[in-house]
Structure 1
Amino acid sequence: MKGWKWWQKGLVGVVGVLVVAAAYIFWPQGVWPFVINLDDIAPPPGAYDATILRDEWGVPHIFGQTDADAAYGLAYAHAEDDFVTIQDTLLAANQLAGRVHGRDAAPIDYFVHLLRIWDTVNAHYATIAPEDRAILQAYADGINHYASLHEAEVLTADLFPLTGEDIAAANMLVVPVFFGLDTAVGNLFAGPPEDAPSGSSSCLLPPVCVDTAYGSNVFAISPARSANGETLLAINSHQPWSGPAAWYEAHLHSQEGLNVIGGLFPGSPLVILGHNEHLGWSFTVNHPDLVDTYRLEINPDNPDQYRFDGEWLDLDVRQVTLWVQIVGRLVIPVRQETLWSVYGPTVRQDHGTYALRYASMGDVNLLTQFRHMNKATNFAEWQTAMREGGLPMFNTGYADADGNIYYVYNARLPLRAEGYDWRGILPGNTSETLWTAYLPFDDLPQVLNPASGFVQNANSTPFQTTIGPENPAAVDYSPVFGIENFMTNRALQLLDLFTADQAITPEEFNTIKYNMGYHPESDVARVAEMLAANPPAGDENVAAAADLLADWDLQATPESEATAVIVMTFYYLNQSDAVDLNPSRLVGTEIPLAVAQDAFLQAVDWLVTHFGRVAVPWQEVNRLVRGSVDVGMGGGPDIIHAVYGQLQEDGRLHGFVGDSYVMLVQWDGDGRLTSQSIHQFGSATSHPESPHYADQAPLFANRQLKPVWLTEADIRAHLEREYRPGD
Structure 2
Amino acid sequence: MLALCALPLCLLGAAPAAAAPRAEITRSAHGIPNIKAKNFEGLGYGYGYSFAQDNICIAADMYVTVRAQRSRFFGAGKDYEFEGNGAIVNNLNSDFFYQRIIDKQTVDELIARKPPQGPLPKVRDGVRGYVKGYNAYLDDVGRNGITDPACKGERWVRKIEPIDAYRRFYQLALLASQGVAINEIATAAPPTPSLLGSAAMSAAQRNAAAISGDERAMVSELADKLPLGGIGSNAYGLGKQATQNGSGMVLANPHFPWDGSERFYQSHLTIPGKLNVSGASLFGVPLVLIGHTERLAWSHTVSTAFRFTPFELTLVPGAPNTYLVDGQPRQMETDEVTVRIPRPGPGAQELNRTLYSTEYGPMINGILGLPLFPWTPVVGYAMGDVNAANFRYLNHFFETNQAQTTGKLTRILKRNVGIPWVNTIAADSRGRALYADIGAVPNVPTAKATSCSGVLGVVTRQALGLPVLDGARSECNWDTDPDSLQPGTFGPSKMPLLRRDDYVTNSNDSYWLSNPEQPLEGFARIIGDERTERSLRTRLGLRIIQQRLDGTDGRPGKGFTRGLLQDAVFNNRQYAGELWRDPLVRACRSNPTMLGSNGPVDVAEACTALAGWNVRDNVDSAGAVLFRRFASRALAAPGGLPLDPGLPGTSPFATPFSLGDPVNTPSGLKGSSLSVQRAFADAVSDLRRSGIPLDAELGEYSYELRGKQRIPIHGGPGGLGVFNAISNGYVPGKGFPDVEHGSSFVMVTSFSKNGACPDDRSILTYSQSANPRSEFFADQTRMYSKKRWNDPPFCAGEVEREAVDVTRLGPNGAR
TM range (shorter): 0.7 to 0.9
Q: Which residue of 2 aligns with 1:80?
A: 53
Q: Which residue of 1 aligns with 2:806?
A: 722
CA distance 1:531–1:687, shift in 2 (3 Å): farther
Q: Which residue of 2 aligns with 1:466?
A: 515
CA contact (8 A) 2:22 2:42 kept: yes
Q: Which residue of 1 aligns with 2:121?
A: 130
Q: Which residue of 1 aligns with 2:438?
A: 410
Higher alpha-carbon deviation: 629-638 or 323-332: 323-332
Whether 1:197 and 2:225 are equivalent positions in the alignment is: no
Distance across 1 between alignment mates of 2:389 and 2:345: 36
Among 459, 465, 470, the residue aligned to 1:427: 470
Among 528, 536, 540, the residue aligned to 2:594: 536
The correspondence of residues 141-160 of structure 1 with structure 2, limited to 5 A, is 141-149=132-140, 150-152=142-144, 153=151, 160=158
Distance across 2 between alignment mates of 1:330 and 1:203: 44
CA distance 1:311–1:707, shift in 2 (3 Å): same
Q: CA deviation at 1:663?
A: 0.7
Q: Which residue of 2 aligns with 1:363?
A: 390
CA distance 1:680–1:520, shift in 2 (3 Å): closer
The size of the alignment, in residue pairs, is: 670
The correspondence of residues 27-38 of structure 1 with structure 2, limited to 5 A, is none
CA distance 1:213–1:202, shift in 2 (3 Å): closer
SS at match of 2:729: strand
Q: Which residue of 2 aligns with 1:13?
A: none
Q: Which residue of 1 aligns with 2:418?
A: 390
Distance across 1 between alignment mates of 2:185 and 2:621: 41
Whether 1:546 and 2:587 are equivalent positions in the alignment is: no
Among 409, 412, 428, the residue aligned to 1:400: 428
SS at match of 2:352: strand
Distance across 2 between alignment mates of 1:651 and 1:106: 34
Higher alpha-carbon deviation: 320-329 or 288-297: 320-329
CA distance 1:695–1:189, shift in 2 (3 Å): same
SS at match of 1:313: strand
Q: Which amino acid aligns with 1:462?
A: Y
Q: Which amino acid aligns with 2:143?
A: E
The CA deviation string for residues 445-470 of structure 1, in whole angstroms up to 9 with x for no partner, is 222024xx1111111231111232x2
Q: Which residue of 1 aligns with 2:96?
A: 110
CA contact (8 A) 1:220 1:405 kept: yes
The correspondence of residues 242-281 of structure 1 with structure 2, limited to 5 A, is 242-255=259-272, 257-281=274-298
Among 361, 364, 381, the residue aligned to 1:354: 381
SS at match of 1:137: helix
Q: CA deviation at 1:661?
A: 1.1
The CA deviation string for residues 128-167 of structure 1, in whole angstroms up to 9 with x for no partner, is 3232222222212222222333223478767854222221
CA distance 1:649–1:81, shift in 2 (3 Å): farther
CA distance 1:186–1:703, shift in 2 (3 Å): farther
CA RMSD, 1 decimal: 3.4
CA distance 1:328–1:94, shift in 2 (3 Å): farther
Q: Which residue of 2 aligns with 1:54?
A: 27
Distance across 1 between alignment mates of 2:74 and 2:631: 35
Distance across 2 between alignment mates of 1:184 and 1:322: 15
SS at match of 1:171: helix
Name the TM-score, length of structure 2 as normaliser. Answer: 0.75
Q: Which residue of 2 aligns with 1:239?
A: 256
CA contact (8 A) 2:66 2:98 kept: yes
Q: Which amino acid aligns with 1:494?
A: G
SS at match of 1:177: coil
Among 697, 707, 724, the residue aligned to 1:617: 697
CA contact (8 A) 1:65 1:256 kept: no
CA distance 1:460–1:481, shift in 2 (3 Å): closer
CA distance 1:311–1:643, shift in 2 (3 Å): same
Q: Which residue of 2 aligns with 1:33?
A: none
The correspondence of residues 232-631 of structure 1 with structure 2, limited to 5 A, is 232-255=249-272, 257-300=274-317, 302-324=319-341, 332-347=349-364, 351=376, 352-387=379-414, 388-416=416-444, 417-418=448-449, 419-421=451-453, 423=466, 425-435=468-478, 436-450=487-501, 453-468=502-517, 470-473=518-521, 476-483=522-529, 485-502=532-549, 503-504=558-559, 505-519=561-575, 528=584, 532=588, 536-537=594-595, 542-550=603-611, 552-570=613-631, 577-581=638-642, 590=651, 593-611=673-691, 613-631=693-711
CA contact (8 A) 2:253 2:746 kept: yes
Q: CA deviation at 1:606?
A: 3.8
CA distance 1:552–1:56, shift in 2 (3 Å): closer
CA distance 1:326–1:607, shift in 2 (3 Å): farther
CA distance 1:101–1:576, shift in 2 (3 Å): farther
SS at match of 2:616: coil
CA distance 1:199–1:287, shift in 2 (3 Å): farther
Q: Which residue of 2 aligns with 1:645?
A: 728
Distance across 2 between alignment mates of 1:365 and 1:117: 22
CA distance 1:706–1:323, shift in 2 (3 Å): same
In the alignment, structure 1 segments of 5+ residues that lack a partner are 1-43
Name the TM-score, length of structure 1 as normaliser. Answer: 0.84
The CA deviation string for residues 500-551 of structure 1, in whole angstroms up to 9 with x for no partner, is 2232233222221223223369886699469636562478862211343355
CA distance 1:460–1:671, shift in 2 (3 Å): farther
CA contact (8 A) 1:232 1:399 kept: yes
Q: CA deviation at 1:219?
A: 0.4
Q: CA deviation at 1:390?
A: 1.8
SS at match of 1:706: coil
Higher alpha-carbon deviation: 407-416 or 115-124: 115-124
CA distance 1:210–1:360, shift in 2 (3 Å): closer
Q: CA deviation at 1:430?
A: 1.8
Distance across 1 between alignment mates of 2:399 and 2:171: 21
CA contact (8 A) 1:212 1:285 kept: no
Distance across 2 between alignment mates of 1:549 and 1:514: 22
Distance across 2 between alignment mates of 1:197 and 1:704: 42
Q: CA deviation at 1:243?
A: 0.7
The CA deviation string for residues 649-689 of structure 1, in whole angstroms up to 9 with x for no partner, is 65131241211111110102323211011111322x22222
Q: CA deviation at 1:48?
A: 0.8
Distance across 1 between alignment mates of 2:788 and 2:570: 9
Q: Which residue of 2 aligns with 1:634?
A: 714
Distance across 2 between alignment mates of 1:91 and 1:566: 43
Among 60, 71, 74, the residue aligned to 1:98: 71
Q: Which amino acid aligns with 1:690?
A: S
CA contact (8 A) 1:93 1:112 kept: yes
CA contact (8 A) 1:528 1:566 kept: no
Distance across 2 between alignment mates of 1:682 and 1:239: 13
Q: Which amino acid aligns with 1:97?
A: R
CA distance 1:316–1:258, shift in 2 (3 Å): same
Q: Which amino acid aligns with 1:564?
A: V
SS at match of 1:707: coil
Q: CA deviation at 1:362?
A: 1.3
Q: Which amino acid aligns with 1:497?
A: I
Distance across 2 between alignment mates of 1:648 and 1:328: 42
SS at match of 1:536: strand
